[in-house]
Amino acid sequence: GITIKLNQKTSKVNHSKFSKSLLDWYDINARNLPWRIPPELTKEGITNDPYKIWISEIMLQQTGVKTVQSYFLNFIKRWPNVIELNKAKEDDVLKAWSGLGYYRRARNLKNCAKTICEKYNGIFPSCTEELTKLPGIGNYTAAAIVSIAYNKLAFPIDGNIQRIVSRLFEIRDEIKNDKSNILENLKEIFSQKRPGDFAQAMMDLGSIICKPANPTCNSCPVLKYCLAHKNNTYKSIPFKTRKVKKVAKKGYLYIGITDCKKIILIKRPNTGLLGGTICPPTSEWKVNKFPIPKPPYEGDWKVLDNRLFHSFTHFELELKIMISKIKHFPQDVYLEPLNSFTLNSLPTVMKKGVEMGIASFND
């Protein structure tokens, strides 16, 4: 076998053998994903649509492939290109995004579509420097678009690629402290002939074989190049940081129902969590204690016995749900029918709360 040592330059022969082994595997085992052109077509020069790669990569931030696929298909059906997305209303985009979380991503999509249409005539830039100037596009997303959609040499380092490179070269440092080492080693093995397929092959290898826990090393097409497997250190690589205990926040969710069985919704401020989304009003969320409840409209407010718990990235949220029939409300609210369409357009935490409220309301 060929040994790759940490920080040692690999020869061109090793590099070409590595990428050939990986790409041969990818040509047979590539995942069938709705935003992706399969390798038999990319080898004929058919390229991926940068719009679809962009949408998929933004959706895949913080969200798994299984969840993203149905959202992606619905989104593309509704807004098949950047020009159509630019015409869309932000509220509609936020509703279509509902359930994916991190709503700033959806607002950035709208802003980015506007810039691409106005500044670039609806055509995505093909270099990372231009792409990273656009709203919501960082180094990783820019590199993914350039390599996958334009088949140009760029290095998109996602969690899968970080893990594979750490194991291949037996990098023992925490990933967040050593990204430059990952990049330098990745450059050594990256295919210059098929950079887009190579990037996706690495992502697929990480998803299918080189998993965080219990990797199936015996199925790995590049096993003989892997130092962590050779030295039996793959279970402890990459090193994981200890998780910090999350803060607990508490608050109230106010569910107001009109006489004609419509729910009263408001648009949250654009800044902050769930920014710009349309949902029932809430109190402030206080650390470790409930605020004094102050329902936004006059009514016969009741507190439900059961509470809503929801986990965000940086804190755990506990909400008491208050519900009332409402006769008088401001004109600038949204009145929506209590049906599955309305529920599905709410952020996940709000959908859970409204479902709990409606169940008690109908009892």
Catalytic residues: 57
Nearest residue to 189 (alpha-carbon basis) of 15, 56, 48, 71:
15
Nearest residue to 153 (alpha-carbon basis) of 125, 201, 184, 195:
195
For residues 344 and 76, what is the distance between their CA atoms, to the nearest angstrom?
A: 18
**Residue 353 CB contacts under 8 Å (≥ 6 apart), including other chains:** 253, 255, 280, 308, 319, 321
Residue 166 — φ and ψ, nearest 5°?
A: -60, -40
Whether residue 327 contacts residue 300, with contact meaning beta carbons closer than 8 Å, is answered with: no
> Which residue bears the tokens 């097409």?
221
For residues 149 and 144, what is the distance between their CA atoms, to the nearest angstrom?
A: 8
**Residue 91 CB contacts under 8 Å (≥ 6 apart), including other chains:** 267, 278
For the chain, how far is it from start to end, CA to CA, in angstroms? 69
